[in-house]
């Protein structure tokens, strides 16, 4: 069992399912190749509304806890009913909540529009609220007079808000201070907007960098190597100039790719009927991290176990509902 800290959002998800949206193909836009459209000013029926829990920090914490690890989450919540429910859910999975900060803003809330007429793919509207007030001070987390970190691994997901850049710098300074800590990074939108050159000092200090294809395109779109940039293998090559360790690009139903020691690995996905696509990337991240950095499995097996965890989440509504335990993921 490893001591793991996850950093990122914890929130309430409200998922609306409808088949009344129209899918628009926009292949000319590399970073937005499909659009979900509704008539302006119209009223649409919602078939179901499900209330679940999500957020990158919470999903990873729950996922790794279910896989037998001792996990804690560093996030910021409001002083409201939602915060109480979010903490109650985390404790249900034995995730430590003593590092949670509080804010006068409301706790984060996400509205997820699930397109039943397009494989239940989703579009998310998120009100980040208190999560944007997260202010990380690792001196408060370190054990007094200890030369060792109390964490074996840190999993960093999306950061946002006025302290995001300082938080990012503080997290990687902690990694520098405690070189034995493994760092997994799944960057958020604000980090991707910074661009490869600005992220370079942090990228070289990750143990594993996990990103989906759309995010990789956003990050690499200004690269000089634009030919065939829509190909995950080309994206891996571009990123490898900045990242010394393992790089993973997930590509939805097409599977997942990894780059390590100048070699590309690939694992296919399986076709299933999806009830939900929310949290699938986090499920992959938890499964892969457990397999590769905790259990020490090889890259190919770790990719497959990450995919297995994400496929299980696809069969349930909610980002945490289908997460597998150790026995299930190895079955």
> Per residue in 240-267, pLDDT tens?
999 999 999 999 999 999 999 999 999 9
Query: Taking all residues of the chain, what is their mean pLDDT, rounded to a whole number?
Result: 91
Report the distance separating Cα 186 and Cα 157, nearest Å.
5
CA 28 to chain centre: 27
Predicted structure pTM score: 0.91
**Could you give the dihedral angle defined by the CA atoms of residues 299, 302, 304 and 307, in that order, rounded to the nearest 10 degrees?**
-120
Does the pLDDT at position 112 exceed 70?
A: yes
Per residue in 21-80, pLDDT (tens digit) is 888 888 887 767 788 888 788 888 887 889 999 999 999 999 999 999 999 999 999 999
Which are the contacts of 79, defined by CB distance < 8 A and separation ≥ 6? Answer: 102, 103, 104
CATH architecture of the domain 3-330 equals: 3-Layer(aba) Sandwich (3.40)
Domain ranges of the chain: 3-330
Q: How many alpha carbons fall within 13 Å on the CB side of residue 107?
A: 23
Q: How far apart are CA 309 and CA 314, in angstroms?
A: 9
Give yes or no for residue 147 having a pLDDT over 70: no
Q: What is the mean pLDDT of residues 116-124?
A: 72
Residues of the chain above pLDDT 90, percent: 73
pLDDT bracket for residue 226 (50, 70, 90)? low
* Contact between residue 300 and residue 267 where contact means Cβ atoms under 8 Å apart: yes
């Amino acid at each position: 069992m490893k001591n793991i800290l996850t950093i990122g959002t914890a929130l309430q998800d409200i998922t609306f399912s409808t088949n009344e949206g129209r899918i628009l193909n926009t292949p000319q836009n590399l970073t937005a190749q499909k659009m979900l459209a509704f008539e302006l000013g119209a009223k649409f029926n919602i078939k179901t509304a499900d209330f679940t829990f999500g957020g990158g920090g919470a999903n990873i914490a729950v996922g790794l806890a279910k896989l037998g690890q001792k996990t804690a989450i560093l996030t910021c919540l409001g002083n409201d009913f939602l915060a109480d429910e979010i903490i109650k859910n985390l404790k249900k999975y034995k995730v430590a909540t003593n590092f949670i900060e509080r804010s006068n803003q409301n706790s984060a809330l996400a509205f997820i529009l699930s397109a039943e007429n397009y494989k239940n793919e989703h579009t998310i509207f998120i009100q980040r609220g208190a999560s944007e007030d997260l202010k990380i001070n690792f001196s408060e987390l370190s054990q007094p007079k200890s030369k060792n970190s109390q964490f074996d691994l840190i999993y960093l997901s999306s950061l946002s808000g006025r302290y995001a850049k300082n938080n990012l710098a503080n997290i990687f300074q902690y990694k520098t201070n405690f070189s034995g800590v493994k760092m997994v990074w799944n960057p958020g939108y604000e980090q991707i907007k910074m661009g490869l050159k600005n992220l370079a000092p942090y990228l070289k200090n990750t143990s594993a960098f996990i990103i989906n294809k759309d995010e990789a395109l956003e990050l690499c779109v200004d690269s000089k190597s634009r030919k065939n940039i829509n190909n995950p293998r080309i994206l891996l090559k571009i990123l490898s100039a900045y990242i010394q360790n393992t790089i993973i690009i997930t590509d939805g139903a097409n599977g997942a790719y990894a780059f390590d020691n100048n070699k590309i690995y690939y694992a296919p996905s399986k076709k299933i009927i999806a009830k939900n696509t929310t949290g699938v990337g986090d499920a992959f991240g938890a499964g892969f991290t457990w397999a590769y950095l905790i259990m020490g499995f090889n890259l190919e097996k770790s990719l497959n176990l990450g995919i297995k965890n994400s496929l299980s989440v696809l069969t349930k509504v909610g980002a945490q509902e289908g997460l597998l335990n150790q026995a299930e993921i190895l079955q």
